[in-house]
Structure 1
C-alpha cells in the first residue's frame, strides 16, 4: 500500500530509540523527509543518515525546544506536514514504574507535565501555522492505554497522558475543518529501552516480583497485564500505526485513538 507520504515533511520527537526510531525508519521507507528530534544521537539513528533525514538535538523539557525543532524542519525542507509527538515517559533522570503517590513531589509532577504534555502543546503551537500555509497536515500524539485505564501506579504519568488525549480531541475539533487531522496512538507495554535498559521497568518489576529481567520481559509482565498476545508489543507495531494515522490514506481518521496494546484494554 502506498501511504502517499513521498516528500512529505515529518517531525518526530523522541527519535533516537524505541518507538521514535522505528517511526523515523518507517517514514523514510515511505519516502518522507524526516526531522528526528532527540537529546542525543544513537548509532541506530546514525545508520539512517541521508539527505532525507535531519537530526535536531533538543531537550524537550526546555520551553523553546519544540519550536526550534519545527523551525529546523521548515528551514531544511520548506515546511511541515506531519508532527509525531512521541517523546514521553519518564523525564530525564526519572524511572518508571513508580508505585507510590505520596512520594511524588511538586517537582516530579511539573517535570512529568513538561515532558509529556507541554512539549506536545509547544510543538503543535509551532507547527499548526506552517501546516495551515500548506493546506493541512497531521499531528499524531503518542499517548498510552494508561490514559484510559489508570491504576495504583505511575499517577503523574497517567494524568499527563490523559491530558494529552483530551488535548488531541480539542485540537481535532478546532482544526479538522482547516485540513489538520489530530489523533492519538496509544500503546500498551512496548519492548523498548524504557523496559530493557539497566535500571529500567523490567529491573524495577523484577525486584518487586522476585524474578529475573528476562522472566519479566518474556512472561511476568505479559501475564501481570493480562495481554491477550502473551508478549510485549514491538516498537515497529506501534510505528506502523503512527505512520498510517499520519498518512493521507487515513484522511477520515480524525480525533481518534488507535490502540496498540496486545489486548490489554478489555473495555468497550
Structure 2
C-alpha cells in the first residue's frame, strides 16, 4: 500500500461496479478516502452516496454531503457513463440526448458542483473517463463515440479554464475493457465466443483491457506526483489508438 493519496479525499462517479469500482479500490489502497457516487448502492459499499448524474439537485446534494463528511474534496473522477450501439440511423433523438446527458453533461454537473471545494485544495485534480472511441472510428458506435469525443474536448477546455486555479484536468482513454457492460454485449451476441475473440483481436496486444489497468492510469493522473500533467489524454488500449501491426503469421 502506498501513501501517495494520504489525507486526500476523492469522488468517483459510477463507482459501484466495473472500472469505477476498480478506481475506488486503487485510490483507497493508496491512502485516499473515496466517496462512491452511483444510482445503484448496496449495503456493503463504504462511503457510498446515491447520486444520479443526470439530476443536478442529486449531484449537488451528493457533492455537498461528501465534502461535509470528508471535510473537503481534492479529486473528482468522472467515470459514470453508459454505452450505446448503432450507427446514426439506429438511435432516435431521445437516445442521443440520453447518452449525452449521462456521458457528457453528467461530468459537467459533478465537476461544476465540486469546483468550490477543489479550489480550496492544494492537490486538486479531475480525471474524466473517455474512450478509444474518441480517437478511433469503430463500427456501430456513433452515439457513444460522439459523446466520448465531447469528453475529450471538454477535458481540454476544463484544463485551460481551471489551471490557474490550481486544478488539473486530464482524461483516460480505455480500449475495450472487460467490464459488466461488455460482458452483457457478449452474452447477447449470436456467438459470444467468436465476438470475444474479435474484440481481443481488435486490440494489438490481443486481449481486453482490465479495469485495474484503467484504475492505475487514473491513479497516476489524479496523483500529486503528476503535478505537471494537465490537459492530457492517457490511452490504455493495448496500442489500438496508434499502432498498425501486420497480421500475425
1:163 to 124, 137, 150: 150
Task: Tell me the distance in 2 between the aligned counterparts of 1:69 and 1:161.
Answer: 24
Find the counterpart in structure 2 of residue 56 from structure 1. Answer: 49
Q: Which residue of 1 aligns with 2:135?
A: 148
Instruction: State the shift of 1:134 in Å.
Output: 2.5
| Alignment partner, residue 236 of structure 1 | 212
Change in CA separation of 1:57 and 1:63 when aligned onto 2, cut-off 3 Å: same
Q: 2:200 aligns with which of 203, 222, 244?
A: 222
Displacement, 1:113?
Answer: 0.8
Preserved contact between residue 15 and residue 38 of structure 1 (Cα < 8 Å): yes
Structure 1 stretches of at least 4 aligned residues deviating more than 4 Å after TM superposition: none
Could you tell me which residue of structure 1 aligns to residue 182 of structure 2? 195
1:117 aligns with 2:104: yes
In 2, Cα distance between equivalents of 1:68 and 1:117:
19
Cα distance in 1 for residues equivalent to 2:54 and 2:154: 18
Contact 1:136 1:178 in 2 (8 A): no
Aligned ranges 1:26-105 → 2 under 5 Å: 26-42=26-42, 46=44, 53-90=46-83, 96=84, 98-105=85-92
Q: Is the contact between residue 12 and residue 20 of structure 1 (CA under 8 Å) also seen in structure 2?
A: yes
**Selected match of 1:138 from 120, 125, 134:** 125
- Structural mapping, 1:249-268, within 5 Å: 249-266=225-242
CA distance in 2, matches of 1:150, 1:15: 28
Q: How far apart, in 2, do the equivalents of 1:176 and 1:117 lie? A: 20
Contact 1:109 1:156 in 2 (8 A): yes
Query: Are the structure 2 counterparts of residues 71 and 247 from structure 1 closer, same or farther at C-alpha, using a change threshold of 3 Å?
Result: same
- The answer to whether the 8 Å contact 2:123/2:224 transfers is no
Task: Structure 2: state its 5+ residue gaps.
Answer: 245-249
What's the C-alpha RMSD, in Å, of the aligned pairs?
1.8
**CA shift for structure 1 position 101:** 1.8
Secondary structure of 1:41's partner? coil
What TM-score, normalized to structure 2? 0.92
TM-score in terms of structure 1 length = 0.85
Partners of 2:193 and 2:74 in 1: CA distance: 40
Task: Give 5+ residue unaligned stretches, structure 1.
Answer: 91-95
1: CA distance, partners of 2:102 / 2:86:
20
CA contact (8 A) 2:41 2:49 kept: no
Q: Deviation per CA, 1:230-249, whole angstroms, max 9, x where unpaired?
A: 11000000001001110101
Looking at structure 1, the residues matched to 132 and 62 of structure 2 have their Cα atoms a distance apart, in angstroms, of 27
Counterpart for residue 9 of structure 1: 9
Do 2:15 and 2:24's aligned partners in 1 also have CA atoms closer than 8 Å?
yes
Change (3 A) 1:117 1:3: farther
**What SS does the corresponding residue of 2:198 show, helix, strand or coil?**
helix
Aligned position for 1:93: none
